[in-house]
Amino acid sequence: MGKKVLITGGAGFIGSHLGDLFLSKGYQVKAYDNLDPQVHGENASRPAYLNKDIELIIGDVRNPEAFASALNSVDILVHLAAAVGVGQSMYEIVRYTSINTMGAATVLEEAVKQRDHIEKMLVASSMSIYGEGLYLCPDCGEISPRLRSTAQLAERNWDMLCPICGKPCTPIPTPETKPLYPTSIYAVNKRDHEEMFLSVGDAYNIPATAMRFFNVYGERQALSNPYTGVGAIFASRLLNGKPPVVFEDGGQSRDFIHVRDIARGCLLALENGNSNGEVFNLGTGRKLSIMDVGKAIAGELGRPADDFIVNNQYRAGDIRHCYADVSRAKTILGFKPSTVFEEGVSELCNWVKSQTSTDMVDKATEELKKRGLSR
């Protein structure tokens, strides 16, 4: 019998792919998930995509009794369950912090009680904890800037300016050593996740690792969730015959990593003792502008590549650029992403074509606007 893994959030997008990979490597997999309506739809039951060999336990991570019983006799704990939505986290502060921070606290207290059988813990962290990525100023060298000022953004001057000399700066790969400046409640919650797991793991001698996921895309993303990542949002808009809404000028960039590469990176970390107590970026090291991502998705879905609403507005807390320096994961874990964006996006769109989704983007944009969180 293979080792037993419990994945919180195991019925979700990333968790279900990780479950598939674990099963293929001979692990026994249990998923603990509350089937959140925003992700899974109202009154959802077991998702059709969830591998039939995964045991699904429906429960909330803040329920100690239910979680304790799910954790019984588990060797490996992977904590992915979280409320995910940067914009929404800024007006549902209590709900996010309750699910994310108190959820992690509950999970950890039970893990401590059952530590005699837990060999390893892995927690999903996020690139959001960096805030802006690392940049190079032509005069001042490497800089780790805070967010662009409100005054600068009010002028629709989108590019990052050096906080010391004011010159335009170029983004460079962001390593794990960059100072953390989380700019949303979600990001603060994710930093909590990371620090809570590493500190509790260290104190109780339960090996723990945190993975900083960059922008994850792929099949099974919740297309009707308007707070999910931009790839799914654009695909959902296009699927509904509407032009995607592009914030700023579309020149902002991110590092898009395919969900199967995320799963592989997590497994490598779990199986490698040198990951204990460490944090790792999981990205590709390639930056793509949001406009290029939109064009690629439109192209794959057979929609015009120039029909976008570039709204020249910005979301509070949005960063301009961040992409991963993946050398630590490469050196310590032997991690190398295997899906290039062009192939991954084609696969994503083939799947999207077989789906229906309700376009909730206008409603979500309105929620942000009425609270002054997009301007």
Nearest distance from C-beta of residue 137 to ligand UD1, angstroms: 21
28 vs 284, beta carbon nearer ligand UD1 = 284
Planar angle of CA 191, 145, 319, nearest 5 degrees: 65
Nearest distance from C-beta of residue 342 to ligand UD1, angstroms: 19
Per-residue CA distances from 229 to 217, 235, 257 (Å) = 8, 10, 12
Q: Which of 135, 186, 217, 323 is catalytic?
A: 186
209 vs 228, beta carbon nearer ligand UD1 = 228
Nearest distance from C-beta of residue 191 to ligand UD1, angstroms: 11
Residues 222 and 355: beta-carbon distance below 8 Å: no
How far does Cα 145 stand from its chain's mean position? Answer: 22
Nearest distance from C-beta of residue 347 to ligand UD1, angstroms: 18
CA neighbours closer than 13 Å in the CB half-sphere of residue 210 = 23
Instruction: Please state, as a whole number, how many other Cβ atoms lie within 10 Å of the Cβ of residue 63.
Output: 15
Listing DSSP states for 32-99 in one string gives EE---HHHH-TT--S-TTS-TTSEEEE--TT-HHHHHHHHTT-SEEEE------HHHHTT-HHHHHII
What residues contact 366, with CB distance under 8 A and at least 6 apart?
none
Give the integer Cα–Cα distance in Å for 55 and 165.
Answer: 56
Per the DSSP assignment, residues forming a β-bridge with 31 are 7, 56
Nearest distance from C-beta of residue 267 to ligand UD1, angstroms: 20
Planar angle of CA 222, 227, 229, nearest 5 degrees: 70
50 vs 316, beta carbon nearer ligand UD1 = 316
Give the residue from 297, 274, 284 showing the smallest Cα distance to 323.
284
- H helices, E strands: number in the chain: 14, 16
84 vs 301, beta carbon nearer ligand UD1 = 84
210 vs 245, beta carbon nearer ligand UD1 = 245
Is position 186 annotated as part of the catalytic site?
yes
Residues that bind ligand UD1 (CB under 6 A): 84-86, 126-128, 184, 187, 215, 228-230, 233, 245-247, 252, 254, 290, 315, 318-319, 361
75 vs 176, beta carbon nearer ligand UD1 = 176
Give the residue from 161, 86, 96, 98 showing the smallest Cα distance to 128.
86
Nearest distance from C-beta of residue 203 to ligand UD1, angstroms: 27
Which helix (H) or strand (E) segment holds residue 136: the answer is strand 134-137
The set of catalytic residues is 186
